[in-house]
């Protein structure tokens, strides 16, 4: 097994999630490439040193440019706020590195396009985007069932991502600043369910028929002070769409949907059956086979933890029903990234910059639809 040295840019929430995956993946997966946690990049030297010591990074620096200049590094992981994705990602691609980037691909469609174009130019570099929910065994199984034709033609998709942490008591964070985040619940949450819809159904969104965005908490307290700052992003955004196969879809994202904590859900109804998933029960997939008829038909509850049942990734973890959690999606994804970098195939398809750019186009179309109160053809959003 060949090693690959990794550099990480960003040390907060996603930096922790990615570091855990890098530390754990070799314990559970036999892979053609082994990650070496070489250099972590952050802004605050003291915090960075503590982070590196806790998670096992060998070196630290406050300059992400150092990673581009280091010929030994093979994979760069960009885990920063959305407005700091494009510049380092493009620089790493130009330096011949492979790049994994947090979602959404960027804060703006312009930056996402630049990243996509840079990836096209860097023919020897591979790109990946951390849409980690694809790597839940239940979501990966849903993708496989649809690809096998088990639900037939897709008529209807309902996707929701509901959280409750964004109430008035929540202080001002970068996620509430449009200049940094690009959007609010929309880019943070709808990005995941748009990707999940595209991944599970294998279809693209062709038109946004209408969207509504609302900001309910207009001011938030700056951390450690009594001063207020304006929140410039949406707290909730909902939209309706058409799918390339002729079906219809609805998407709903909110950070003010108490008591939901992380209710990332998708249901797809088709001519031969249906399936549904909710991350708050992430090990379960509900599947309906219409061929069973009205007498015996209904939802089958599948616990997606069986290696004998060939549930994706399950054989690398624990005995049946010894369930997985949030962090395992990142480990599963990293395993597939390392497979690809070693010349092997992933268990299920990985999103690259081109794939994530298509999701970003949908997000942009929904923002335009909400602002202009009109339908938007995806073909008009480049």
Judge if 28 and 169 occupy the same domain.
no
For residue 379, pLDDT beyond 80: yes
Structural domains in the chain (count) = 2
Given pLDDT bands bounded at 50, 70 and 90, which one contains residue 373? very high
User: Which residue among 101, 129, 157 closes a domain?
Assistant: 129
Q: Is residue 330 part of a domain?
A: no
Instruction: Say yes or no: 24 and 111 in one domain.
Output: yes
User: Do the domain assignments include residue 378?
Assistant: no
Q: What is the pLDDT of residue 359?
A: 98
How would you classify the pairing of strands 248-254 and 263-270?
A: unpaired
Question: With the C-alpha atoms ordered 253, 255, 260, 262, is the resulting torsion angle positive or negative?
Answer: positive
Q: Are residues 106 and 200 in the same domain?
A: no
pLDDT digits (tens, 9 = 90+) for 234-243: 999 999 999 9
Domain assignment present for 345: no
Q: What is the pLDDT of residue 144?
A: 98
Domain assignment present for residue 36? The answer is yes
Is residue 185 situated within a structural domain?
yes
Across-strand partners of 101?
78, 129
- 328 domain-assigned: no
Q: Supply the pLDDT for residue 195.
A: 98
155 and 240 share a domain? yes
How many angstroms separate the CA atoms of 244 and 247, rounded? 7
Residue 307's pLDDT is 95
153 and 212, same domain (yes or no): yes
Whether residue 272 is found in the same domain as residue 181: yes
Same-domain check for residues 100 and 152? no
Q: Both 233 and 164 in a single domain?
A: yes
Residues 242, 197 contacting (CB under 8 angstroms): no
114 has pLDDT over 80: yes
**pLDDT at residue 223, as a whole number:** 93
Same domain, 148 and 289: yes
pLDDT in tens, 194-226: 999 999 999 999 999 999 999 999 999 999 899
Tell which of 129, 164, 186 closes a domain.
129
- Residues 250, 190 share a domain: yes
The SS3 call for residue 210 is strand
330 pLDDT exceeds 80? Answer: yes
Average confidence score pLDDT of the chain: 97
Statement to judge: residues 83 and 142 lie in one domain? no
* Integer Cα distance of 208 and 191 in angstroms: 15
Q: Which domain holds residue 98?
A: 2-129
Q: Is residue 70 part of a domain?
A: yes
- Cα separations (Å) of 39 from 6, 60, 75, 201? 7, 5, 11, 38
Paired with 263 in beta bridges are: 162
Tokens coding 348: 């299920």
Q: Domain check: are 124 and 204 in the same one? A: no
- Distance, CA of 15 to CA of 92 (rounded, Å): 18
Please tell me the predicted confidence (pLDDT) of residue 1: 73
User: Considering the domain boundaries, does residue 45 fall inside one?
Assistant: yes
The answer to whether 40 and 59 have CB atoms below 8 angstroms apart is yes
Collapsed DSSP state (helix, strand, coil) of residue 10: coil
Question: Mean pLDDT across the stretch 151-160?
Answer: 98
Tokens of 372: 């202009």
Q: What is the pLDDT of residues 166-192, one digit of tens each?
A: 999 999 999 999 999 999 999 999 999
Per DSSP (E only), the strands in 152-299 are 154-162, 205-214, 219-221, 228-230, 236-243, 248-254, 263-270, 273-278, 284-289
Q: What is the CATH number of the domain that holds 283?
A: 3.30.360.10
Average pLDDT of span 222-232: 94
CA distance 299 to 244: 26
End-to-end C-alpha distance for the chain, whole angstroms: 41
* Residue closest to 144 by CA, chosen among 190, 185, 199, 99: 199
What CATH number corresponds to the domain at position 13?
A: 3.40.50.720
Q: What pLDDT score does 289 carry?
A: 97
Indicate the residue among 112, 129, 146 that finishes a domain: 129
């Amino acid at each position: 097994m060949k090693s690959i040295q990794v550099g990480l840019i960003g040390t907060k929430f996603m930096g922790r999630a990615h570091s855990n995956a890098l530390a754990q993946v070799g314990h559970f997966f036999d892979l053609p490439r082994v990650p070496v946690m070489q250099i972590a990049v952050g802004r605050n030297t003291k915090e960075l040193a503590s982070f590196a010591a806790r998670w096992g990074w060998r070196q630290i620096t406050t300059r992400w440019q150092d990673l581009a200049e280091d010929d030994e590094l093979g994979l760069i992981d960009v885990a920063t706020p959305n407005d700091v994705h494009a510049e380092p990602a493009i620089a790493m691609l130009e330096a011949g590195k492979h790049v994994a980037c947090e979602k959404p691909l960027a804060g703006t469609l312009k930056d996402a396009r630049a990243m996509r174009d840079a990836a096209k130019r860097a023919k020897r570099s591979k790109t990946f985007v951390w849409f980690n929910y694809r790597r839940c065994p239940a979501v990966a199984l849903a993708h496989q069932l649809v690809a096998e034709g088990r639900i037939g033609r897709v008529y209807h998709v309902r996707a929701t991502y509901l959280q409750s942490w964004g109430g008035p008591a929540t202080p001002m964070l970068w996620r509430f600043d449009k200049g940094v985040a690009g959007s609010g619940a929309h880019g943070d949450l709808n990005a995941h369910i748009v990707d999940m819809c595209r991944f599970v159904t294998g279809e693209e969104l062709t038109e946004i028929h209408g969207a509504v965005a609302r900001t309910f908490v207009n001011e938030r307290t700056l951390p450690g002070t009594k001063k207020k700052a304006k929140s410039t992003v949406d707290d909730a955004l909902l939209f309706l769409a058409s799918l390339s196969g002729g079906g219809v879809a609805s998407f709903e994202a909110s950070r003010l949907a108490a008591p939901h904590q992380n209710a990332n859900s998708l249901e797809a109804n088709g001519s031969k059956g249906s399936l549904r998933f909710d991350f708050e029960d992430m090990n379960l997939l509900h599947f309906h086979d219409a061929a069973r008829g009205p007498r015996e038909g209904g939802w089958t509850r599948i616990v997606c933890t069986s290696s004998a049942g060939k549930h994706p990734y399950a054989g690398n973890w624990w005995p049946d029903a010894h369930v997985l959690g949030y962090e395992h999606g990142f480990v599963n994804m990293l395993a597939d990234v390392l497979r690809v970098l070693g010349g092997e195939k992933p268990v299920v398809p990985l999103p690259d910059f081109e794939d994530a750019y298509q999701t970003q186009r949908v997000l942009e179309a929904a923002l335009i639809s909400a602002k202009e109160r009109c339908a938007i053809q995806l073909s008009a959003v480049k």
